[in-house]
Amino acid sequence: MRKKLIAGNWKMHLLPVGARALVERIRAELDPLAATLAKDREVMVAPPDILIPAVAQALAGSSILLGAQNMHFEDKGAFTGEVAPPMLLAYGVTHVILGHSERRHIFHETDDLINKKVLAAIHHRMTPILCVGETQDEHDSGRALDVVLRQLQRGLEGVADDHVTRMAIAYEPVWAIGTGRTATPAQAEAIHGAIRGAILERYGRERADTVRIIYGGSVNDENVDSLVSKPDIDGALVGGASLKADSFARIVRARTR
């Protein structure tokens, strides 16, 4: 059985005091349920890099995992403004969101660059969360599946059979991110099924059944149950609603069937 993954993407929000307070409030809600939750789900938060040390400290002793929102693919070097995988690992970061639509569209990250980052994450035994998703235009013109499967294929280039199961894929339709418009559970399930089908074709049934495919785009405490109860939706990548402890905790407690 795949464990659900509920991941909070804090984006470029908060200061150290607020980040610590948010973690404390999330822990107050979730720590008492940790043993039950651990049976079938994992929880992760991804703060901005500069808040990672404070958040790592605030998370000490909890089962909530620490993620990053991006990273460079090299271990070190002359890359002004970038953060390397070993730096994240030093603070206990285990997961890294890669190819988020804001990275693709605002910062012009290409499939090739994202693929290098995926391979670097795997090399460092981190869990890459590879984001894929179509824009409004691509959606309206019926190209959603083509776009998503191409991003998936390019993102997975060179990912070995034995490593693919370490990854998670996040389907995030760009038109649903931060807009309050979410894909319907049926729409999302159809794309998730196709993503799993593509992984199956290339990596076989057993591996395809292991890879988690999570949904992102205006997930909140009201729509999460209907999304994550779909068989191919293995969790959620949550932006806005992950900045409020009570809604994030409610999302984590989602009914999954």
Which residues carry out catalysis? 100, 172
Shortest distance, position 154 Cβ to ligand PGA, whole Å? 20
CB of 70 to ligand PGA, least distance (A): 12
C-alpha span between 221 and 252 (Å, rounded): 9
Closest to ligand PGA by CB, 181 vs 205, is 181
The one segment of 72-80, 149-157, 204-212, 231-239 that binds ligand PGA by CB under 6 A? 231-239
Selected from 9, 115, 151, 223, the binder of ligand PGA by CB under 6 A is 9
- Is 219 among the residues that bind ligand PGA (CB under 6 A)? yes
Q: What part of residues 171-190 is at the interface with ligand PGA (CB under 6 A)?
A: 172, 177-178
According to CB under 6 A, which residues from 119 to 178 bind ligand PGA?
172, 177-178
Of 202, 239, 200, the residue nearest 220 (C-alpha): 239
217 binding ligand PGA? (CB under 6 A): yes
Note whether 6 binds ligand PGA by CB under 6 A: no
CA 185 to chain CA mean position, Å: 18
Contact 62, 31 (CB under 8 A): yes
Cα(7)–Cα(48) distance, integer angstroms: 14
Per DSSP, the residues of 80-105 read TT---HHHHHTTT--EEEES-HHHHH
125: left (phi over 0), alpha (psi -120 to 50) or beta: left
| Residue ranges binding ligand PGA (CB under 6 A) | 9, 172, 177-178, 216-219, 237-241
